Amino acid sequence: MTTSAAPSTPLKALARIRPDVRAMHSYVVQPATGMLKMDAMENPFRLPAHLQAALGQRLGALALNRYPGERVGELQAALARHAGMPEGCAIVLGNGSDELISLVSLACALPAEACGGKRPVALAPVPGFVMYAMSAQLQGLDFVGVPLTADFELDEPAMLAAIAQHQPAITYIAYPNNPTATLWDEGAVQRIIDAAGAQGGIVVVDEAYQPFASRTFLDRMRAEPARNAHVLLMRTLSKFGLAGVRLGYLIGTAALVAEIDKVRPPYNVSVLNGEAALFALEHADVFAAQAAELRAQRTVLVNTLRQMPGIQKCWDSEANMVLVRVADSAKAYEGMKTRKVLVKNVSTMHPLLANCLRLTVGNAEDNAQMLAALQASL
């Protein structure tokens, strides 16, 4: 006679999950069916019909029964040419910037015993991209956020003091920043990078919004390679116009990139993602024209917002988003949602963002609909 197994108890299994993970909140994507989606800084333009057909043919002909192969190397080379990768550097690919941030965190997650009894530190200005802190926590690093000034500029003395105190393994500099759309002073950024390097740290310069910015730190890496040898420059094709493809890349000195590449999962870029990215790079002029149109629409949008009653502050932008402060961001957000327009209420992310909304820059039609909903909701 056999005895049946005792019924499983979910609570017992849950106890195997790390307490800090159980205490976390998942990253939530707002339902957007039937809505104008202006909350995620997506490119509003789809591929022209003839390019859709051409891409479909290429993707349909791929050997989906095979693991990704040498085309991944061809994609790396194409991205290196597209970015103008400096000599002596190498490139590693990720499933969007999120995976690359996780890989850098994982590679730097030394045990506390190896760091004088303290966990390694990841440091970044705040408010900033939420994945810096989340990846640090998940990989066993402590996260230190250094507040920006009230006008969302870098607090250089505070950053330098924090680097001296915490000696971070990783310092993140978003260039431009999310959600503030700020492109910080180049001299201040370089001095912070110098300070991080002087104590043996890595700096990740996150250029996710580079297509909309007036400058790139890659120029400094080319001009002074030795000074910036500890910098990893990160970009994504999401803001290039391929958010659905999920492809990011990291550029840095070959020796440093080789170490990050060791913790990358094999075949992390699918043949479909890789081929779509190669196709897009072959038609980079189409995406460059889209970025130029969005930069022009950003100027119109900012000028209109600054004349709108009820907008207390509209900040300059070097990205495809605009940050505004209103009297009651929760009321304005809900009012816009009722009018079928989704934006991002960032007011709960950090005290400096009190009553702030982040608006995506879209095409002229989308921007007009967003502005009408915002004005009616103030």
Instruction: For residue range 96-134, list pLDDT tens digits in order.
Output: 999 999 999 999 999 888 788 889 999 999 999 999 999
Q: Which residues pair with 143 in a beta bridge?
A: 122
Give SS3 for 257: helix
Does the residue 142 lie in any domain? yes
Give SS3 for 93: strand
pLDDT at 115: 80
Whether 24 and 116 share a structural domain: no
Task: Write out the chain's pLDDT in tens, 378 residues.
Answer: 555 565 566 678 888 888 888 888 887 788 889 999 999 999 999 999 999 999 999 999 999 999 999 999 999 999 999 999 999 999 999 999 999 999 999 999 998 887 888 899 999 999 999 999 999 999 999 999 999 999 999 999 999 999 999 999 999 999 999 999 999 999 999 999 999 999 999 999 999 999 999 999 999 999 999 999 999 999 999 998 999 999 999 999 999 999 999 999 999 999 999 999 999 999 999 999 999 999 999 999 999 999 999 999 999 999 999 999 999 999 999 999 999 999 999 999 999 999 999 999 999 999 999 999 999 999
DSSP letter string over 305-370? HHTSTTEEEE---SSSEEEEEES-HHHHHHHHHHTTEE-EE-TTT-GGGTTEEEEE---HHHHHHH
Domains identified in the chain, total number: 2
Whether 226 and 268 share a structural domain: yes
Whether 208 and 110 share a structural domain: yes
Whether 260 and 339 share a structural domain: no
Domain span at 26: 19-49+285-377
CATH of the domain at 314: 3.90.1150.10
Beta-carbon contacts of residue 286 (< 8 Å; ≥ 6 apart): 47, 48, 51
Give SS3 for 167: coil
Domain end, chosen from 263, 282, 301, is at: 282
pLDDT at 7: 58
Does the residue 61 lie in any domain? no
Does the residue 57 lie in any domain? no
Whether 274 and 125 share a structural domain: yes
Q: Phi first, then psi: give them for residue 184, nearest 5 degrees.
A: -75, 160
Tokens of 155: 């607090």
Whether 321 and 359 share a structural domain: yes
Domain end, chosen from 250, 282, 314, is at: 282
Tokens of 304: 């209109």
Whether 230 and 309 share a structural domain: no
Does the residue 10 lie in any domain? no
Does the residue 43 lie in any domain? yes
pLDDT at 111: 87
pLDDT at 138: 94
Rounded CA separation 297/312 (Å): 21
Does the residue 5 lie in any domain? no
Does the residue 58 lie in any domain? no
Q: Which residues pair with 323 in a beta bridge?
A: 358
Whether 253 and 356 share a structural domain: no
Express each pLDDT in 246-273 by its tens digit.
999 999 999 999 999 999 999 999 999 9
Whether 257 and 128 share a structural domain: yes
Whether 93 and 240 share a structural domain: yes
pLDDT at 198: 98
Whether 31 and 140 share a structural domain: no
For the chain, give me the number of helices (H) and strands (E)? 14, 13
Domain end, chosen from 236, 256, 282, is at: 282
pLDDT at 12: 82
Does the residue 9 lie in any domain? no
CATH of the domain at 255: 3.40.640.10
Give SS3 for 120: coil
3-state SS of 93-155 is EECHHHHHHHHHHHHCCCCHHHHCCCCCEEEEEECCCHHHHHHHHHHCCEEEEEECCCCCCCC
Give SS3 for 59: helix
Whether 258 and 232 share a structural domain: yes
